[in-house]
Structure 1
């Protein structure tokens, strides 16, 4: 076997977190901490994170995937992606403790886990890099805009839709009501519920402060990725970040949100592993 998988238990604020350390026979000096998006456990949808960890191991990259508090086998209360920074810190330290050959650690996150990884850079200057897959930048307005632009427009050219309309199987009134609701949300966003700046603004500020190496992977068949793109287009600071030499971008046109097809999953592994090993060569050459 080219790698070993070792169960770990480590503490976070009195709760027990459970993770799996995947170690290649000849581990590289740069490792990957896989932050799990919620709500799901360290295995991931269709074993996504298990396959990712084993795929990275084929490229000699060690990794740790874990359940944060309230998920999977970890104890404690369930929390959202903006409340798991202590969990990430605990996993980061456990990774270093149980993988002594790992000198630096990259954070890997999908969806809201990518957003959590971005926020963690403000707390942990030892983060070596970020791998962000379909980052979560959702607001009511961004969702409404993405739905109108990328969902409803594409539906107008869908042959199956027109067949349903002509056969009377399509609920036209309900769909028009949903379209009007989305349009109103886009034109008149809801007032903020608290004093915090919107999520995209806070993420952008964190990335500006970080300014480290980042790999961005976007799916072509994913509304969350389209929302992210719309967020970038509407913001000069986001555009500046995306055009930075520190950011590498890969688009996977046929991939869905969780890269569920085998080909898409393998592409994510290849892009992630290639980028990490390239970064490792730069840091430790």
Structure 2
């Protein structure tokens, strides 16, 4: 059964959804960006129902200023209190839960990396962690390099370049971005990578192979020399929206839930 749960967060009220089950390991799903707790195309709501039917209680919530929750939306950097409040509500409403694991995509993965331990979370599955702050409307340099490498292997790209089908201005901007220093010296990037590394074997990564955010993370992690257990899914879907992607994500979450310390 799915229940709606209202709970306080500082001066505001948040709303979450609990898919009930008898399992003693609970899953918290944290939405990234300004996404509602239902997820893209209701993907997280459907995932929660599936896992609960298999015995895993699942809690999802809208952070302040998003969806059904009150307050002002101040982004993921200001969402630590929301995360702690959601974990507290989950444990109150499902008192049989002895171990708590969490999944988050994009900046929700970054939030979990930084503050999951504070919330009493035991293990995390971090999807496409957000490690590079945007400086303009272009993707991160590693994603541009990967894109150009693939395009330059395609003869059609050269034909388009010769016939004016490729924007020279955009090409020059992309090449300039590639020539810039990597993100390894950026304090934000270094902080996220250090937070992920601090989880040790309790953190697992899942990446959408052709997603720009995932490519940027993989490049930054390689440069920093951190190598948490990582599953790469052959998809460009940031939210693992295709049926095969969703199945891979569900399998990774099941593995997280059933893992033993």
TM-score, normalising length: structure 2: 0.89
Change beyond 3 A, Cα 1:274–1:147: closer
Q: Does 1:20 align with 2:17?
A: yes
Q: How does 1:61-140 map to 2 (within 5 A)?
A: 61-121=56-116, 123-124=118-119, 126-140=120-134
Q: Does 1:145 align with 2:134?
A: no
Number of residue pairs the alignment of both structures matches: 258
Change beyond 3 A, Cα 1:76–1:140: closer
Is the 8 Å Cα contact of residues 196 and 203 (structure 2) preserved in structure 1? Answer: no
Change beyond 3 A, Cα 1:269–1:92: same
Give the superposition deviation at 1:255.
Answer: 5.2
Q: Does 1:180 align with 2:172?
A: yes
When structure 1 is superposed on structure 2, of 140-149 and 256-265 the one drifting more is 140-149
When structure 1 is superposed on structure 2, of 35-44 and 249-258 the one drifting more is 249-258
Change beyond 3 A, Cα 1:159–1:43: farther
Q: Which residue of 2 aligns with 1:35?
A: 30
Deviations 1:233-278 (A, max 9, x none): 2113x2xxx1xxxx4321111352111111110111112112211x
Give the superposition deviation at 1:75.
Answer: 0.8
SS of the equivalent of 1:271 reads helix
Change beyond 3 A, Cα 1:207–1:166: closer
Write the distance in 2 (CA, Å) between the matches of 1:104 and 1:275.
11
Write the distance in 1 (CA, Å) between the matches of 2:155 and 2:34.
35
RMSD, matched Cα: 2.6
Give the superposition deviation at 1:158.
Answer: 4.2
Change beyond 3 A, Cα 1:144–1:41: closer
- Structure 1, unpaired ranges of 5+: 191-195
Q: Which residue of 2 aligns with 1:216?
A: 205
- Structure 2, unpaired ranges of 5+: none
Q: Which residue of 2 aligns with 1:155?
A: 151
Give the superposition deviation at 1:178.
Answer: 2.1
SS of the equivalent of 2:66 reads coil
Change beyond 3 A, Cα 1:101–1:115: same
Q: How does 1:252-267 map to 2 (within 5 A)?
A: 252-254=233-235, 256-267=237-248
Write the distance in 1 (CA, Å) between the matches of 2:178 and 2:117.
31
Q: Which residue of 2 aligns with 1:193?
A: none
Is the 8 Å Cα contact of residues 211 and 237 (structure 2) preserved in structure 1? Answer: yes
Is the 8 Å Cα contact of residues 105 and 126 (structure 2) preserved in structure 1? Answer: yes
Write the distance in 2 (CA, Å) between the matches of 1:233 and 1:208.
12
Deviations 1:88-142 (A, max 9, x none): 0000000000001111211210011100100113533x21101111111114589
